[in-house]
Amino acid sequence: MFNRMFTIPGFVLAVSACASFPPPNDTMASSLASVRGAEELGAANVPQAALQLQLAQEGLNKAKKLMAGGDNEQAHYMALRAGNDAELAIALTRENTARGEAKSAEQRVDDAKSPETTP
């Protein structure tokens, strides 16, 4: 009898704690903004960034399905992961752009140092 008195309220408390996680609307919006930012920067054109962008898009889709199923806590974590994947795609895209610009600048310096060979 004593065990049942504490088991039932404990079970009810555990179930209600899971159900009380709020919908992760802010996390979803932030992650969606990061995905769109990565798309606009051209992450799809950088192989390493394209993979991260794809993972972010898939993560957002999973998060939406989890929210629709009422699993807000898991949706929150999936959306966070998607946002982080999108931010990594952004960083990889910016790195690729910076490397290209550095290579171009290095080529201009080399061209300026070399003596002209005009007759």
42 token code pair: 């051209």
The predicted structure's pLDDT at residue 115: 76
- Which residue's entry shows tokens 């974590």? 77
Q: What is the pLDDT of residue 19?
A: 58
The DSSP annotation for 56-115 comes to HHHHHHHHHHHHHTT-HHHHHHHHHHHHHHHHHHHHHHHHHHHHHHHHHHHHHHHHHHSP
Distances (CA, A) of 86 to 22, 29, 30, 67, 83: 23, 13, 10, 20, 5
Of the candidates 81, 102, 97, the one whose C-alpha atom is nearest the C-alpha of residue 35 is 81
Give the relative orientation of helices 72-113 and 25-41 as an angle to the nearest 10 degrees.
20
Counting Cα atoms < 13 Å in the Cβ hemisphere of 97 gives: 12
pLDDT at 20: 85
* pLDDT value of residue 91: 98
pLDDT along the chain (119 residues), means of 10: 55 55 96 97 96 98 96 97 98 96 91 72
